[in-house]
């Protein structure tokens, strides 16, 4: 997702899927009035006629089509970039050339007077009123476990998790298929992500709550066409993958092991 807002706001004013769609060549030839490109939810709503791509891969900008998403975001904010400053966020593993390219676009294409890039984990820590701590930062394309001290990242502590929100989405889609639900391929991922975001939660007593969920606490979810489906233990099993990545089909350590490992490395680094 691409998010944008104004400094001082509590929540982003604009949230849109990081998707760009362009009409398929055979449809352009029919002169049906398609625009050259669509972004976000509008692109997803026309997926049958468009070739969809995401400019972001693994939480890193990989395609200049990202400029279209930025432009749409600024328009939705009713913001003229000229004369304004902008803060971009990045993952700890973002390559310097990609950062430089993003800044170049901000200055040359949009005309911002000042621009800065800050790591997402550090900003999350600031949001809690702290400058020192351990941050688990998980986005759709990447996840990291990071230690921060006095407002700076400790570089040797930064550890990729090896899984992200997209893995949880794929896990939910698989569970829905196992439950007997079948959706068209383009829509399945969007539905799985929406169910994950609206219904899933981490259980303190996983086994006990799963038992209750399987028997009496199933959740209802209304599809775009009005049909209602039910989900049960999936809303607990899906996020449990954060602690047991094997359930996601990923060979990696869970969050507890990552935090313990970072604590050991940080102690050695600060000694």
Q: What CATH number corresponds to the domain at position 5?
A: 3.30.420.40
| 198 and 227 part of one domain | yes
The range of the structural domain enclosing residue 223 comes to 165-248
On the question of pLDDT at 259 being above 70, the answer is yes
Rounded Cα distance, 116 and 127, in Å? 18
| 198 and 238 part of one domain | yes
Nearest to 45 by CA among 227, 228, 224: 224
On the question of pLDDT at 29 being above 70, the answer is no
| 58 and 94 part of one domain | no
| 169 and 148 part of one domain | no
| 19 and 44 part of one domain | yes
Asked if the structure places residue 37 within a domain, the reply is yes
Q: Would you place residue 187 in the very low, low, confident or very high pLDDT band (cuts 50, 70, 90)?
A: confident
From 13, 44, 79, the end of a domain falls on 79
The predicted model scores a pTM of 0.79
Residue of 141 and 165 predicted with greater confidence: 165
Asked if the structure places residue 259 within a domain, the reply is no
Asked if the structure places residue 197 within a domain, the reply is yes
Asked if the structure places residue 69 within a domain, the reply is yes
Predicted local confidence at residue 49, as pLDDT: 75
Q: Would you place residue 125 in the very low, low, confident or very high pLDDT band (cuts 50, 70, 90)?
A: very high
| 149 and 174 part of one domain | no
Predicted local confidence at residue 214, as pLDDT: 72
| 204 and 183 part of one domain | yes
From 115, 140, 161, the end of a domain falls on 161
| 149 and 176 part of one domain | no
Average pLDDT over all residues of the chain: 86
Q: Could you give the number of structural domains in the chain?
A: 3
Q: Would you place residue 118 in the very low, low, confident or very high pLDDT band (cuts 50, 70, 90)?
A: very high
Kindly state the DSSP code that residue 217 receives in the 8-state scheme: -
| 174 and 239 part of one domain | yes
Predicted local confidence at residue 262, as pLDDT: 86
Asked if the structure places residue 257 within a domain, the reply is no
Asked if the structure places residue 240 within a domain, the reply is yes
By mean pLDDT, which of 32-36, 38-42, 143-147 is the weakest?
Answer: 32-36
Predicted local confidence at residue 185, as pLDDT: 74
| 226 and 189 part of one domain | yes
Q: What is the DSSP string of 121-187?
A: HHHHHHHTT-SSEEEEEE-SS-EEEEEEETTEE-GGG-EE-S--HHHHHHHHHHHHHHTT----HHH
Asked if the structure places residue 45 within a domain, the reply is yes
| 62 and 133 part of one domain | no
From 108, 129, 161, the end of a domain falls on 161
């Amino acid at each position: 997702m691409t998010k944008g807002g104004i400094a001082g706001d509590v929540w982003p004013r604009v949230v849109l899927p990081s998707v760009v769609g362009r009409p398929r060549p055979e449809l352009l030839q029919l002169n049906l009035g398609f625009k050259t490109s669509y972004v976000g939810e509008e692109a997803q709503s026309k997926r049958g006629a468009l070739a969809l791509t995401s400019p972001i891969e693994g939480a890193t900008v990989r395609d200049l089509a990202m400029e279209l998403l930025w432009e749409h975001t600024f328009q939705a904010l009713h913001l003229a970039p000229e004369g304004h400053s902008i803060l971009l966020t990045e993952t700890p593993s973002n390559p310097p050339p990609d950062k430089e390219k993003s800044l170049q676009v901000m200055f040359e294409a949009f005309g911002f007077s000042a621009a800065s890039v800050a790591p997402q984990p550090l900003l999350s820590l600031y949001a809690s009123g702290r400058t020192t701590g351990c941050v688990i930062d998980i986005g759709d394309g990447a996840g990291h476990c990071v230690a921060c001290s006095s407002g700076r990242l400790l570089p040797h502590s930064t550890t990729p998790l090896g899984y992200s929100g997209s893995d949880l989405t794929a896990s939910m889609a698989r569970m829905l298929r196992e439950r007997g639900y079948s959706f068209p391929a383009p829509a399945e991922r969007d539905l799985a992500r929406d169910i994950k975001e609206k219904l899933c939660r981490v259980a303190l007593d996983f086994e006990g709550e799963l038992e209750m969920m399987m028997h009496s606490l199933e959740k209802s979810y209304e599809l775009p066409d009005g049909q209602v489906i039910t989900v049960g233990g999936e809303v607990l099993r899906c996020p449990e993958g954060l602690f047991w990545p094997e359930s996601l089909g990923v060979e990696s350590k869970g969050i507890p092991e990552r935090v313990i490992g970072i604590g050991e490395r940080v102690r050695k680094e600060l000694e």
